[in-house]
Structure 1
Amino acid sequence: MPYAPPPRTPPGRAPEPGRRSRRDPALLALAAGLALLVVAVAGAGWYGHGTGHARPPAARGTGAPPPGTAAPPAEGVTPPTGPALRTPGPVRVPGARELAAARQPGEGTSWIASDSTDLPRRSIRADGPWIVGDTVVRALFREVTAYRLADGAELRSPTLPTPVCEAPEHTTPDGRIVVVLATGTARRGARCDRFRMIGLRTGKAGWTKELLRADPTPDTPVLLAHTAISGDTLAVAEGTGAAAYRVGDGVRLFGVPAEEPGRCRPDQVAGGSRLLVGSLCATGADRRRSHSGLRELDPRTGAVRWRHRTPAGRSVERVASVDPVVYTSVDNDRLTDDWRIVAPGPRGEVRRTIDPRPQGFEHCVHSGIDAGLQPCPGIVVGHGLVHVGGTDRAGAYDLATGKLLRGIRTHDGRTLTPVGFRAAPGTIVYESATPSRPGRTFVLDGGGAGGEEVLLRHPAAAGAEYDTGAGRVLRVGGRVVVTPAHVSGDDARRQPRMASFAPGPD
């Protein structure tokens, strides 16, 4: 089911097998979602030493993950007699007062958001978060929930008629978004072709439409539409075509034509301050001859500003930044075993290609592939640098030279996720929690291992931080917001919906 992908790998564990790239022409000829195994990227050498910041394990907070649940007996089979097995309860999320009372000197403040909404017993995709004014908003299953940034109070949670399949990475400047809804709640057989505009500042729904295919010729259902917002323009790619619509009223603005001639079909979009369209340029079923195209379009008119293409045998996988444009490239056969960071120039030429594999960096912090052009967790671009993270390590490359300027490595399996940068040279990094130790936020500069500046010590009492899985991490001012990329619908393993940390009073 498009809105129920596999769960994200928790921090400190080996990545789950990925899926073959969406740009594999042989798979397009068979089915858009055929799952194949990939081996997660593994790094070879490293350039630094331990961080030198080891601290004694903190007591696990009230959000400790429950032990595994025993599989239920098969239908018609009588379970064996004997002592009753303990049924694990859901993760208990501490309240604001409890967290405040347990906070130790030097620790930041925190809040943990929970939700008692009943979910199907499977992995549910979570979209967002989006920062809108003084709120942070997430879409999960049939709800779009807004929390107050200051204290995590739930402000509104309108219910949608059917589950959310997909949502853009960005909103309009005034906080509107368009979510893609399934045609029904069934796990199988539903299509993702209903669109609803929502004002995230108020939670009120606007127009709802079944947007037509950009290319209506193929008589096949839309299984999953990828979307992006740039300004007031919504771009929709359906795997065989793309079109743009006005967010305000859903009126179609323009279609995105195929190129070369007819071989490069637009299949992906990325938004933000620029509108990018990715294309699959297939030559039959030969992956070694196929490549990807990338175009920047004027979001109001559809005019092409520049074009870029990958070498034969490689594809655009994720867009890490649209200003400047930086994307990840993967080999059509080896996928994330052979990935690069690529920065096109102002005319679409290749400005810089960086190979992060020798340092052991993982593609978008092992978030997998085949999930749209955005986001790419773990890669942040700014101040002429590409900040990259992964399990046990983080670093920064110079876009002008392609050289690694600084890096750090830990030894306890935590995921290090760059979340920003400072005007002075420095990468702001979130270090994920473990079952026994809280996370933290620090600045990695050029001073070498052990010299990092701790910005925020996360409270040990907020043990539910680990259960978020650190799927997405945002930094808003001095506050860090951590959210899962997928949420389990198993009541015995209920996860927190969001965790947030901020500097506390001295």
Structure 2
Amino acid sequence: MTQPPPPPQQPPQPGGFGSPQDQPPQPGPPPQTPPAGGPGLAKSPQPAPGYGYPQAPQPPQGAPRTPPPAGPPQQSGYGYGYPGGQPNSYAQPPTAQPNPYGAPQSGYGYPAQPPTVPTQPQVGQSGGGRKVSAELLMIVSTVIVIALIIGTGIWYANRSDGGKQDTANSSGGTGGKEGDGKSATGGTEKVPSDPAAKVLYQVPMPEVSDLVTTSGSWLTDKAYVKSGVAEVVGYDRDKGTKLWTVKLPGPVCEASLHTTSDDRTAIVYEPAMPTEDQPTHGCSQVAAIDLDAGKKLWTQTAKSGDQLIRFDNVTVSGTTVAVGGTSGGAAFDIADGKALWAPKAADTCYDNGYGGGAKLVAVRKCGQSEQSQLGIQTLDPKSGKVISEYKMSQGIEYAAIVSTDPLVVAADVGHSAGDGSGISDFFSIDNQTGKLRAHISAPGDTYAARCDGISKVEDCRGLAVGNDRLYVPTEDHDGSEAFRKTNEIVAFDLGTGKQTGQRADAGDGYHIIPLRMDGADVIAYKSPPYDKGGQIVSVDGSSFKETKLLENPASRDVRDAETSMLPDRAEYLYSQGHLYMASVYARKPSSSSEGKDYLALAFGTGG
């Protein structure tokens, strides 16, 4: 499960053809419809340089203009049939390890018998709920209601109530279960009469002097909502005109993948903008955002002693906002910001982070380094009381939550993945008893997905869970056509840990990864070869038959923009013929870049 190369640096282009412009309080006219063949990505002048974070050198972007060479290409990154093995680029932080995808596999790369690892299930006790410490928790409530420019929001994310409507998000997703635990039937995504898509609009890359985090995108019935530089903005789903803006004093650090049934979510942000003297102010501010009204409902902080706690992840489950980090976890009511729990002075363990959605699950760490032990705890979202706990084997330092219902955890056992993906094994756990249901070995050179269990806990991409199965993409291998790679999605039974034998093929030159569940079906994205546009497909949960829902234009300009933010790093949302792609970083422009760079792209079919 290797990581792709870092993203290219490209000059930001304010405006851009089809880009939404800043609007006055009333909605302005929609942007022009992009001409056939692409969004018209042109060269642009660079903004003046300024201060910012140091940035690692990055490779050039996009597919080459020439046809395939006569000789075999060298595969690197997500080549998928690009001539000469030219990789597609990804949006990723400069600290990420840009390991290329491994050597082509001779077959489909299914593993043999999983290796034995110490994964004995244990039911642990945690001693009640997480209570607020008056000495350590000093809540600063700055209830700021900002009602700017006509409102609504977007990440049709995994809703914490089970979902009014499932929509794709690139961090994987849960689903495929009815309330009684039986397998769900078909999903809600409609098959369009014509899957050919056009560019609806582009959100231009903000002008920044260096790298700034822009994590977070959501969908509501009315808007596509995307974090920008120290702001959260709601856009018209089809036109891209700005509906509302919530301004913030500093950059957004992290954003919840989940929303409540009434379209509320949560973010973590810095209290001020970075400067040359102080490149970070710490991700200490927790806020709830109403995506329908376009308002920030409240802001809270928590302290350990006299120091503000810095949080690495944020999630929503039910009406609870939970935030975690190496100083411990805290929780607030999403309606009014009331503190539900916080770190306690005498506690020698801490909640490193949480997974949300249908249930709330904590990754709790006790001890130091190789002597540490992780507890995977299913919590009552209101009180923090431990419902069940699975204690992972000592020495597993980090774990990530793939899904909370059914509960699936990923870990790099003994640092054996070897590719920076954070995954060597999956653990299927019973939420009620805390017992291990199944252990799944997933060698990094065989499967292509990634999780950041070190700090973010819930940041897993290229995975989906539903129908009591785990859906995982394989690494690339030779296709049937010369010089073209391909891969497939395979399924594991969460009760037995064994493969089901099902396989969804990407097709020569394509690379397929699951995005989320749609009822019992899997919504997947196919990154394209050098001469095609990307696709969204629905994979039937029983037959694994693929149905094309959307196909992007194949023009070079559009394809270059699309392949600059493939879902291994970028944020992907799909719903009813609409595909939204977004970068999690605003980047400093590069003098070597040939085309425009975008914060977000929107594609749509004709119906």
Instruction: State TM-score, norm by structure 2.
Output: 0.61
In the superposition, relative to structure 1, how do residues 115 and 180 fare at CA in structure 2: closer, same or farther (>3 Å)?
same
The answer for the alignment partner of 2:527 in structure 1 is 432
1:114 aligns with 2:208: no
2 CA distance for matches of 1:335 and 1:255? 34
2 CA distance for matches of 1:154 and 1:448? 42
Residue 364 of structure 2 aligns with an amino acid whose one-letter code is S
1:417 aligns with 2:513: yes
Residue 447 of structure 2 aligns with an amino acid whose one-letter code is F
Deviation at 1:189, TM superposition (A): 4.3
2 CA distance for matches of 1:358 and 1:448? 27
1 CA distance for matches of 2:525 and 2:503? 14
1 CA distance for matches of 2:102 and 2:456? 23
The answer for the alignment partner of 1:330 in structure 2 is 412
Find the residue that maps to 1:465 and give its secondary structure. Answer: helix
More strand by share: 1
Residue 120 of structure 1 aligns with an amino acid whose one-letter code is S
The answer to whether the Cα contact below 8 Å between 2:331 and 2:339 also exists between their aligned partners in 1 is: yes
In the superposition, relative to structure 1, how do residues 212 and 441 fare at CA in structure 2: closer, same or farther (>3 Å)?
closer
Find the residue that maps to 2:564 and give its secondary structure. Answer: helix
**What 5-or-longer segments of structure 2 have no aligned partner?**
1-50, 62-76, 80-86, 110-193, 477-486
2 CA distance for matches of 1:370 and 1:303? 24
**What 5-or-longer segments of structure 1 have no aligned partner?**
20-34, 50-104
Deviation at 1:313, TM superposition (A): 2.0
RMSD: 3.9
Find the residue that maps to 1:328 and give its secondary structure. Answer: strand
Find the residue that maps to 1:352 and give its secondary structure. Answer: strand
Spell out the pairing of 1:366-385 with structure 2 (5 A cutoff). 370-385=454-469
In the superposition, relative to structure 1, how do residues 349 and 126 fare at CA in structure 2: closer, same or farther (>3 Å)?
same
2 CA distance for matches of 1:384 and 1:106? 30
Spell out the pairing of 1:159-308 with structure 2 (5 A cutoff). 159-187=247-275, 188-209=279-300, 211-213=301-303, 216-217=304-305, 222-255=309-342, 262-282=347-367, 284-285=368-369, 287=370, 289-308=371-390
Residue deviations 1:28-65 (CA, integer Å, cap 9, x gap): xxxxxxx796967858856549xxxxxxxxxxxxxxxx
Find the residue that maps to 2:382 and give its secondary structure. Answer: coil
The answer to whether the Cα contact below 8 Å between 1:433 and 1:465 also exists between their aligned partners in 2 is: no
Residue 256 of structure 2 aligns with an amino acid whose one-letter code is P
More displaced stretch, 342-351 vs 478-487: 478-487
The answer to whether the Cα contact below 8 Å between 1:390 and 1:415 also exists between their aligned partners in 2 is: no
Instruction: State TM-score, norm by structure 1.
Output: 0.72
Q: 1:495 aligns with which of 588, 597, 601?
A: 597
Deviation at 1:502, TM superposition (A): 3.8
The answer for the alignment partner of 2:503 in structure 1 is 407
The answer to whether the Cα contact below 8 Å between 1:230 and 1:275 also exists between their aligned partners in 2 is: yes
1:348 aligns with 2:443: no
1:398 aligns with 2:493: yes
Residue deviations 1:401-426 (CA, integer Å, cap 9, x gap): 323322355587754221245667x5
User: Does 1 or 2 have the higher relative contact order (CA < 8 Å, sep 6+)?
Assistant: 2
Q: 2:583 aligns with which of 474, 484, 492?
A: 484
1 CA distance for matches of 2:335 and 2:540? 43
The answer to whether the Cα contact below 8 Å between 1:268 and 1:279 also exists between their aligned partners in 2 is: yes
Residue deviations 1:243-289 (CA, integer Å, cap 9, x gap): 2111222221223669xx9443211112112111111222x44x2x4
The answer for the alignment partner of 2:14 in structure 1 is none
Find the residue that maps to 2:586 and give its secondary structure. Answer: strand
More displaced stretch, 353-362 vs 142-151: 353-362
Spell out the pairing of 1:467-478 with structure 2 (5 A cutoff). 467-470=564-567, 471-478=570-577
Find the residue that maps to 2:581 and give its secondary structure. Answer: strand
More displaced stretch, 235-244 vs 429-438: 429-438
2 CA distance for matches of 1:15 and 1:231? 36
Find the residue that maps to 1:157 and give its secondary structure. Answer: strand
The answer to whether the Cα contact below 8 Å between 1:177 and 1:197 also exists between their aligned partners in 2 is: yes
2 CA distance for matches of 1:42 and 1:183? 41
1:454 aligns with 2:548: yes
